[in-house]
Amino acid sequence: MSVKTQTKEIIKQVAPPLNTRFSTGMLVSSSYYVLENTKIEELADEMAHRDNIFALAVVNASMNVQGAIIRKDLFDILGRRFGRELYYNKTVIDVMQKVRTFNYTMHIFECSKIIEKDLITGIQDYYALVDDQGSYRGLFSTKDMLIFLSRLTQKDIEQAKRVINRIVNKEYVVQTKRLRIAIRNEMVQDIGGDSYFIIPKKTKNEIIVGVCDVAGKGIAASMITAIINGMISTNDFETNSIESFLLHLNNYIYSTFEGEKFVTSCFVVINEDESIMGVYDFGHSMAYLYRDGVFKFSLKEINLPLGVQKITNVKSGKMKLQSGDCIYILTDGCIEQRDIKSNEYGIQRFNKMFISNYSDDPSKIVNALMTDIQRFRGTYPQQDDITIACIMYE
């Protein structure tokens, strides 16, 4: 009877790195290795029975990394005509590829900057991780880095969505002595840069309504939205004038983002007793008055968008209100929305729909307008955040 001899495994593993939070040690997808004097044919035979190994390091007796063997590349070489014969009795040094090494404690973001060009190419390159003594601790690839960054970005987006949804309600309705106000908001993928504010003042029979549109989309835009909301919610409008607040808000955004981000916005301050409305336009220019027809606000004094440059004063205009006046403020996502044929919704259709859906209920008006915009785009995706504010003065 013949006895089957048990061959010794030549592929070995190192223990995974510990305490690797946000370090490259988190990225290890292969901890396998072989010694540099291993025969190619022996390695290929063992790897043929271990299809879970896609890459492994080549190390010397001191566990210093010499290179890496990529499974696909190895079998491509051996699968060529006379491949096995050409590499018969040669060692893995002859087929390994050189790899860059990083300390496994390096911060992932620092490493991602170093290999940024490799990430852009889309080719799956491998890198070796070592400890402070230069000993092998594992391999990771550009794919591992991209997966990590993608998951991290997705988590950030989900967190930003939760924050923005707490800050900006999809619909808000309020009624005072002489005002009825309704606002609708629809963000792209529940994250964006549109926001609105309704701030009643107690000492005066006044109310402040603001609509803001941050340039750009995504997490950066939502971050500015959160900043604006925080500054508004902590400001004392009873003692601080709206002018001083807007001045501070503009200069804070400018100093924080150094002019790289800006916010178009329109704030109106309505004194119900005096029937006076103050208007503070920061490059928004999308405010309209309905009074026996639609009229666009025509202000001589318009400010640059918030955050474009540092300012020392705020420009404003005033308007005498009449009973039955209706003011509406919108963001450009309303009129720039396109349909499947690339037609733009446009301000003319918006104003026409406003007039045809006009009633004494501002909530019905904004809902009808929002419905028409969504009907217009059909299957075409929403391109930008949409906000419509309707203020009715009785």
- The upper half-sphere exposure of residue 30, i.e. CA atoms within 13 Å in the direction of its Cβ, equals 26
Task: Point out the domain boundary residue: 98, 119, 150.
Answer: 150
Burial of 1 (0-12, 13-18, 19+ CB in 10 A): exposed
Query: For the segment 245-286, what is each residue's pLDDT rounded down to a tens digit?
Result: 999 999 999 999 888 899 999 999 999 999 999 999 999 889
User: Is 158 part of a structural domain of the chain?
Assistant: no
Are residues 93 and 26 part of one domain?
yes
7 belongs to a structural domain = no
Q: What is the rounded distance in angstroms from the CA atom of residue 323 to the CA atom of residue 345?
A: 31
In a domain? residue 278: yes
Residues 128 and 257 placed together within one structural domain of the fold: no
Q: How confident is the model at residue 89 (pLDDT cuts 50, 70, 90)?
A: confident
Task: CATH number of the domain at 86, please.
Answer: 3.10.580.10
Give me the pLDDT at residue 162, please.
87
Counting the structural domains of the chain, the total is 2
- Closest-CA residue to 157 (of 180, 189, 194, 187): 189
Is 4's pLDDT higher than 60? no
The structure's pTM equals 0.77
Domain assignment of residue 64, given as a range: 12-150
Do 135 and 175 lie in one domain? The reply is no
Is 183 in the same domain as 146?
no
In a domain, 88, yes or no: yes
For every residue of 324-382, which 3-state class applies, written as one string? CCEEEEECHHHHCCECCCCCECCHHHHHHHHHHCCCCCHHHHHHHHHHHHHHHHCCCCC
Hey, what amino acid is at 208? I
Q: 196 and 130, same structural domain?
A: no
Residue found by looking up tokens 């009877």 in the block: 1
Model confidence band, residue 166 (pLDDT cutoffs 50, 70, 90)? confident
Q: What is residue 9's predicted lDDT score, i.e. its pLDDT?
A: 87
- Do 67 and 195 reside in the same domain of the chain? no
Percent of the chain whose pLDDT exceeds 70: 98
Is residue 143 located within the same domain as residue 290? no
Task: Please indicate, yes or no, whether residues 253 and 386 belong to a single structural domain of this protein.
Answer: yes
Band (pLDDT 50/70/90 cuts) for residue 288 is: very high
